Amino acid sequence: MKLRTVVFAVVLAGSVTMNVATVAFSSVAMLVSGAFEVVTGAASVLGARDRKINNLSDDLVRKEAEVVSLTDEVATLRTPKSVTYRGQKRLLAEAVEDTAARVSRRTAAGAPRNAGSVVAEAIPVAGVAVVLGVTAWDLKDACDTMTDLHELELAFNPSVSPDPEASEVCGLTVPTKDEVWTTVKASPGVAWEVAASYLPDLPEFTVPKIDWSPWN
């Protein structure tokens, strides 16, 4: 009886000590939990909890990485973009604004010039010089505008090739007054047909018999 009492007391003391150690020290708890899993073949509550915490920690790390990545992307989008525009570093918004201003000024100057020259262009003989002068300005404006647009395009895409149409427009020349008169006297019908190919609203033209001798 005395021996049973002693054994019971020892077992009870060991059990209490182990419980206290398990609660107080995580390393002991993990050791006991691991031993429990090995002996029983089942996951203990502590082991399952730790695995869940580890999984949640991994998820948290991934989410934090995603947040950092998205934050960097937002910061990049909010940062004003700089481009090389006409050989200088400029903000993209400034490059667009400068191009728009150039084209607007050119258009504002060209519109009244064309409208104001209509009457003078109708003056016989002398009107040819007016037409040629206005046409020369129009060609220059067209060339300058296409050049401005190409400069802006280069700001967006530095590897873009020159526009062949711009080179063609900038290479056009206005005929002289004498060249115009020679063509008109030689074949006015052909001259009208060429104009009609660009201006489809032009009416039909019947070539009258004209004595050009006074103009020679």
Inter-residue contact 138 to 110 (CB < 8 Å):
yes
pTM of the model as a whole: 0.59
With 50 as the cut, is the pLDDT of residue 24 above it?
no
- What is the band of 6 on the pLDDT scale with cuts at 50, 70, 90? very low
Lowest-pLDDT range, 46-50, 56-60, 169-173, 203-207? 46-50
- Of the CA atoms within 13 Å of residue 116, those in its CB half-sphere come to 7
pLDDT above 90 coverage of the chain, percent: 26
Mean pLDDT confidence for 169-176: 92
Least confident of 31-40, 58-67, 97-106: 31-40
Please list, residue by residue across 167-202, b when 16 or more beta carbons sit within 10 angstroms of its beta carbon and e when fewer do: eebeeeebeeeeebbeebeeeeeebbeeeeeeeeee
Query: Residue 11: pLDDT above 70?
Result: no
Chain centroid, CA 136 distance in Å: 35
Tell me the pLDDT band of 95, cut-offs 50, 70 and 90. Answer: very high
C-alpha gyration radius of the chain = 45
Question: Is the pLDDT confidence value at 8 over 70?
Answer: no
pLDDT(126) > 80: yes
Q: What is the mean pLDDT of residues 181-200?
A: 84
- Interval 37-94: pLDDT, tens: 555 544 555 566 667 777 777 777 777 777 777 766 666 666 778 889 999 999 888 9
Band of pLDDT at residue 5, cut at 50, 70 and 90: low
Report the C-alpha gap between 89 and 45 in whole angstroms. 64
* Domain residue ranges in the chain: 2-78, 83-215
Residue in the structure block whose two tokens are 């020259």: 117
Q: pLDDT of 150-164, one tens digit each? A: 999 999 888 888 888
Of residues 180 and 207, the one with the higher pLDDT is 180
The pLDDT confidence band at residue 147, using thresholds 50, 70 and 90, is: very high
Contact criterion met (CB below 8 Å) for 205 and 192:
yes
